[in-house]
A and B are shown apart, each in its own frame.
Chain A
Amino acid sequence: MLKMKQLTQPRVIIFILSLIVLCTLPWVVSSFILRIATGIMMWIGLALSWNMLGGYMGYISFGHGASFGVGAYITGLLMMLLHLPFFVALIISGVITYIFAMIVGYPTLRLSGSYFAIGTWAFAEMMRQLVLVLDTTGGPEGLRLPPMLNDNFFYFVMFGLALLVFLTAYFFFENSDFGLKVKAVREEEVAARTLGLNTTWIKNQVFALSSMFAGIIGGAFAYWITYIHPDSVLGPLIADQMVIMVLLGGIGTLFGPVIGAIVLYVGNQYMLAAWGQSSAYLIILGLAICLVILFLPEGLLSLPRVFKSTTKGAFARLFSPPRKTRI
């Protein structure tokens, strides 16, 4: 797929250089920063996976946290009950969330717009309640995983997963016929169908694929944190944060979710360090969403463009004499 000529393009060189820098990170920064970097990688992966569904296909889901939680719980259960090694459990939980999403997607993808959002949110809530009452999952007590205290290991796992999701988004959604088909579903579903696109199949695949990535990342998160309970992996805030990160960075773009995840996660961690556990974060989060939706609907990614076009106007207004009112 890649030719020598493409490898020497500036953006490819920048990409490879940044990969090298990110690979050396564990030996450069403190373990505190490394944990934050791991968290950033995780959220980049999650935001990008949500963006496949919400951005490229235009199906806004508030239930994506369910896939994350299901992946986390399945990895945990496989490791605790069947004593499977981590990577085997991770792959199996990916396959299971994929199948799970196909089943969930079959009825919910018949809905669209806010109905789809509500439908997926209801499914997520259902999963949370289910995990709360089941004995195998530990109910409200949660689930403990075998501890593994190697920060570098988890950094590289999350980094690898984020990279996998990023490359999938790049090759399958940005630069392929499949990506065009997905965008066609977003733009005009009926027209897409009359052009020979099997939209039902496309929607199901995108839903399952993006859920699978969320599930795998959830599994890695469970092993990293070693203790999960219904609210920590199936709470509504997980899906909400994915949505907000994508909206903040720029929906339907490749780098928007990456930027949104970095900004939001760093902000979150900073507030956590400065004020401790408080609801101030949620208030500021809500305020940030309002501001972005009102003034920057295309997200932070469009900021340079918007700034360029409006500063000229603002300066002109500043230095020109006040306009006389016409009668």
Chain B
Amino acid sequence: MELLEIKNLQHMFGGLKAISDLNIKVKPRMIYGVIGANGAGKTTLFNLITGIYRPTVGQILLEGKSLVGKQSYEISRLGVARTFQNLRLFNDLTVIENIHIGQIYTNRGRGKNRTTKDLPGEIRRLLELFGLDERATEKAGNLPYGMQRKLEIARALATDPKLLLLDEPAAGMNPKEVMGLVDLIKEVKNQYPDITIVLIEHQMKLVEGLCEYVSVMNFGQIIANGIVREVQSNPIVIKAYLGETEVG
């Protein structure tokens, strides 16, 4: 069964169709990429999955259960975590407090057969994994930009999600930092093998390095699906990104 299945999704902002007739299937434990030009509707898609917007038409299923109409916090407790394109950290709180807030609902309300986690141990593990242990008691707002990005991923992971949505995790990073992030996400996947990751990205380097499968969005629709290499040579995708080629 698919972990995430989106069927005939449509979303309108007034008269503007931000998403139309979108279908996606994400299998468990995969790293799935969503790429596309600015304004293609990628972030809107994430906002629909996490309940920040309500879709006009369509279904969003997590392990067969519908997420449509649920509040953001309910969706989070069902196991969907996300980061934001423009950082949304709790700036005036410390790094540890940021992660701790993510943990508050991990051991509750997700079925009784779920094993409870050792939360303080989990914080230490996340701090180490993301290289934040030395600045654990600093205010999140005082961290350098790259670390803030990492902290946001750590905070999302602290909710113990099944599905992790990363909205342009490499935005504003230089090429070296992007490669570091690729290794980091690989390491996260290594340590949390059960997690499924869906990421939105512009930088092909990151997508090539991580994703097994990508969907290309354009004007609210998916114009191509497939493995990265396949998609890159797809003429429709090239047209969407670069415009029509003129022969000559």
Contacts and interface: CB of A to CB of B under 8 A. Distances in A.
Interface of A: 177, 180-181, 183-184, 186-188, 190-199
Contacts of A197: 73, 101, 104-105
18 contacts: A177-B100, A180-B97, A183-B92, A183-B97, A184-B101, A186-B92, A187-B90, A188-B88, A191-B84, A191-B89, A192-B101, A193-B73, A193-B76, A194-B52, A195-B81, A196-B76, A196-B105, A197-B73
Given A193-B72, A194-B81, A187 B92 contact: yes
A207 to B, nearest CB: 18
Interface in B74-100: 75-77, 81-82, 84, 88-93, 97, 100
B102 interface: yes
B191 interface: no
A191 B88 contact: yes
A177 B155 CA distance: 15
B239 to A, nearest CB: 35
Contacts, number: 72
B196 interface: no
Contact of A187 (B91, B105, B156): B91
B52 A190 contact: yes
B81 A187 contact: no
B76 A183 contact: no
Contacts of B92: 183, 186-187
Contacts of A191: 84, 88-90
Contact of A194 (B82, B90, B97): B82
Nearest to A200: B71
Given A195-B101, A196-B104, A196-B159, A183 B90 contact: yes
B50 interface: yes
Interface residues of B, number: 26
Nearest to B140: A187
A299 B97 CA distance: 24
A146 B89 CA distance: 53
Q: Which of B84, B90, B91 has the most CB of A within 10 A?
A: B90
A180 B73 contact: no
Contacts of A194: 50, 52, 72-73, 75-76, 81-82
Interface of B: 50, 52, 71-73, 75-77, 81-82, 84, 88-93, 97, 100-102, 104-105, 155-156, 159
A190 B84 CA distance: 10
Contacts of B105: 195-197
Contacts of B159: 195-196
Contacts of B77: 196
Q: Which of A177, A187, A195, A197 has the most CB of B within 10 A?
A: A195
Contacts of A187: 89-93
B199 to A, nearest CB: 16
Nearest to A195: B102
B89 A188 contact: yes
A88 to B, nearest CB: 37
Contact of A196 (B73, B90, B97): B73
A180 B100 contact: yes
Contacts of B100: 177, 180
Contact of B101 (A181, A190, A198): A181
Nearest to B155: A195
Nearest to A190: B88
Contacts of A196: 73, 76-77, 104-105, 159
Contacts of A186: 92
| A-B interface, 10 closest residue pairs, ranked by CB to CB distance from nearest | A196-B105, A187-B90, A191-B88, A196-B76, A193-B72, A188-B88, A198-B73, A196-B77, A184-B101, A195-B102
B71 A193 contact: yes
B82 A180 contact: no
B40 to A, nearest CB: 22
B108 to A, nearest CB: 9
A161 B196 CA distance: 51
